[in-house]
Amino acid sequence: MNAIPKPDLAPPAAPDSAPKGAPKTGAELVVACLRAQGVEMVFGYPGGAIMPLYDAIPGSGLKHILVRHEQAAAFAADAYARATGKAGVCLATSGPGATNLLTGIANAFMDSVPMIAITGQVPSSLIGTDAFQEVDIFGMTMPVVKHSFLVRKAEDIPDIIAQAFAIATSGRPGPVLIDLPKDIAQSPITKARPAPRAKAAPKPYTAEALADAIAMIGQAKRPVLYVGGGVAKAGAVEALRRYNMLAGIPAVATLTGLGALPTNSKDFYGMLGMHGSKAANTLVQEADLLLVCGARFDDRATGKPDAFAPHAKIIHFDCDPAEIGKLRAADIAVPGDLKAALEGLPAHILDISPWRERARNLGQKHAFDYNAPGAGIFAPAFLKRLSEAAGDNFVAACDVGQHQMWVAQHCRFSRPEAHLTSAGLGAMGYGIPAGMGAKLARPDDCVVTITGDGSIMMNIQELATLRRYGINLKIVLFDNATLGLVRQWQELFYEGNFSEIDLYDNPDFADVARAFGIEAFTVSRREQMDGAIARLLATTGPVLAHVHINPRENVWPLVPPGKSNIDMMEH
């Protein structure tokens, strides 16, 4: 499906490929500085206070994607960053525009995603007067950014933007806010020029700590490699894979660590934690050593903290020293450059044959069963086949709910960039904007948004953005007419007192998609599954598969609240 034709507006905008001359205003300087940092695409929505910046975009060489809600701009920039490793950029006006970015900024902060959020602000003379569309976005975002800037002079813009990118992308990545008053954006400038790109070098690890780690690994009989999202952030994926291949240590991953090791690797036993695999959780509980790489002992991964890996010593590799010892004391801490530290580990197979055999037996014993009863579509089987059919180019941009856990359990991921999800924040509505950002960042990848009937309604307006730009995003919508994960918890832990989870009055989502100009179809029977997957993969242009599933289907296995990971419910 082609993008819709652009209306004939007068005067026509200058082509994006023709950059302007020297910047004449603060706003033009912002755009020039973004280009100097290598920014090619931004996501945003215009308004009064940010209007000078939008006036500077046409003809600048900067590609702007107009979303239909500012939250979607932040989510799209987040996924663009995860897909490229560069900082994503989003724009919004003051007041409600800025506050609508807040959830997306918090999402990037929780998952350590580099992002630059630029908000318009009322003129400097009106700050603090409760002016129209004035909010203290600087103050509001302080808990969920690495740093904030309030621009006070146009001449400071080059240094501020250079610092913002350096902060966002170095160390443990994260979002940075730049609040730009309207009068500063309109200020004439004469001498300021874009500052060069800058990025702090990773802090080196200490040789003594690594030597101690090597000695402890050599003594272990039941080691487990515990992989988190920090591995990809540190550019350490290849170093980890090489070490794992040569050492042969059974490995597990957190939700954001999936794909750092290919999920079909012979030494990989799945996700650990609340909805992890039984094999992964059992291995961790029996381990005598955990090699923790770029993970933070999140509560969803560890379950009951004092019962987590009770027999294991801990070697913790992380670029952020604040994470080491925060929730679980490390016997050996290796802060600093994770990639270099992994490259410094000895590359030889460990003498742990009985442990490897135990791991293989657990993997076989607790393998997932895809032969569900009934004539309906079984979501785990659908996802498994879809990811295998799409191959190494598959990317899942996943919303939050039961489908999120099924994706983590059952999809095949060949690389960490293939799994995009709101992990730490758990923000519904992430899926479609994230899919847009990922597909625009990596147009040759097979990007699939996987969402539920609850999540899709949070940002369904972005179907218009898909249509406008002809973004070839594939959407799988699992519809069980309920808030599935909440319903499951109410069934299991609240005595079946189902409260406000019934979505019986959902629209026909295929009809909704078609009303936006998106190709769509509906399936509900098992024999339709292979045809639906083939149609999804073959369609050029945005397409939505509306997949009806059993409303009483639960995600298994499950660690009950307050229990150890070994106490998993399996049905």
Quick check: bond before 346 cis, omega within 30? no
- In this predicted structure, what is the pLDDT of residue 10? 40
Phi first, then psi: what are they for 385, rounded to 5°?
Answer: -65, -40
Q: What is the pLDDT of residue 218?
A: 94
Q: Write down the number of H helices and E strands in the chain.
A: 21, 18
The Cα angle at residue 196 between residues 192 and 202, in degrees rounded to 5: 145
Q: Fill in the DSSP letter of residue 558.
A: B
Name 289's bridge partners: 223, 313
Question: Is the Cβ–Cβ distance between 160 and 195 less than 8 Å?
Answer: no
- What is the average pLDDT value for the chain, to the nearest integer? 94
Residue 395 DSSP class: E
Q: How many CA atoms within 13 Å lie on the side-chain side of 518?
A: 30
Mean pLDDT of 17-33: 82
Per-residue pLDDT reduced to its tens digit, 334-376: 999 999 999 999 878 899 999 999 999 999 999 999 988 899 9
Dump pLDDT digits (tens) for 154-191: 999 999 999 999 999 999 999 999 999 999 999 999 87
Triad 551, 555, 560: Cα angle to 5° = 120
Q: What is the pLDDT of residue 5?
A: 57
Average pLDDT estimate for 264-290? 96
Is CATH 3.40.50.970 the right assignment for the domain spanning 26-186? yes
Residue 257 pLDDT > 70 = yes
Name residue 443's amino acid. P
- pLDDT category of residue 201 using cuts at 50, 70 and 90: confident
Measured CA to CA in angstroms, residue 390 lies from 84, 103, 455, 497, 535 at distances of 20, 31, 24, 40, 12
Q: pLDDT tens for residues 485-513?
A: 999 999 999 999 999 999 999 999 999 99
Helix, strand, coil share of the chain (percent; to 5): 40, 15, 45
**DSSP-based three-state secondary structure for 259:** coil
**Residue 472 pLDDT greater than 70, yes or no:** yes
pLDDT band at 12 (very low <50, low <70, confident <90, very high): very low
Specify the 3-state DSSP secondary structure of 281. helix
Report the SS3 class of residue 43: strand
Domain 379-548 has CATH 3.40.50.970: yes
pLDDT (0 to 100) of residue 2: 54
Question: Looking at residue 301, what is its pLDDT?
Answer: 93
d(CA 68, CA 108): 20
The residue among 180, 175, 177 whose CA lies nearest residue 47 is 180
Q: Are 98 and 64 in contact (CB under 8 A)?
A: no
Residue type, 543: V
Res. 434 pLDDT band, cuts 50 70 90: very high
- Given a cut of 50, is residue 130 above it in pLDDT? yes
Q: Give the residue-averaged pLDDT of 268-272.
A: 97
DSSP letter assigned to residue 206 = P
Secondary structure letter of residue 526 according to DSSP: G
Domain 207-365 falls under CATH 3.40.50.1220 = yes
**Edge-to-edge strand ranges of the sheet holding 394-398:** 419-421, 394-398, 446-452, 474-479, 543-548, 519-523
Residue 216 main-chain phi, psi, to 5 deg:
-65, -40
> DSSP character for 376?
B
Which two tokens mark 419?
A: 């799994």
Q: In terms of C-beta density within 10 A (0-12 exposed, 13-18 middle, 19 or more buried), how is residue 460 classed?
A: buried
C-alpha–C-alpha distance, residues 328 and 324, integer Å: 8
Phi then psi dihedrals of residue 41, to 5 deg: -140, 140
| DSSP per-residue letters across 143-160 | GG-SEEEE---GGGHHHH
Name residue, tokens 């507006």. 9
Helix (H) or strand (E) holding 420: strand 419-421
Segment 136-155, tens digit of pLDDT: 999 999 999 999 999 999 99
Any idea where the domains of the chain sit in the sequence? 26-186, 207-365, 379-548
In which residue are the tokens 């270099």 written?
340
Task: Say whether pLDDT at 9 is over 70.
Answer: no
Token duo for residue 517: 């100009």
- For residue 335, count other CB atoms closer than 10 A to its CB: 21
pLDDT for 214-224, tens place per residue?
999 999 999 99
* Choice among 266-275, 308-317, 321-330 with the minimum mean pLDDT: 321-330
DSSP 425-488: S--TT-HHHHHHHHHHH-TTSEEEEEEETTGGGGSGGGHHHHHHHT---EEEEEE-SB-HHHHH
Report d(CA 109, CA 107) in Å as an integer: 5
Burial 356-365 (b: 16+ CB within 10 A, else e): bebbeebbee
Q: Which of 233, 290, 240 is nearest to 262 (CA)?
A: 240
pTM: 0.94
At residue 193 the predicted structure's pLDDT band, cuts being 50, 70 and 90, is confident
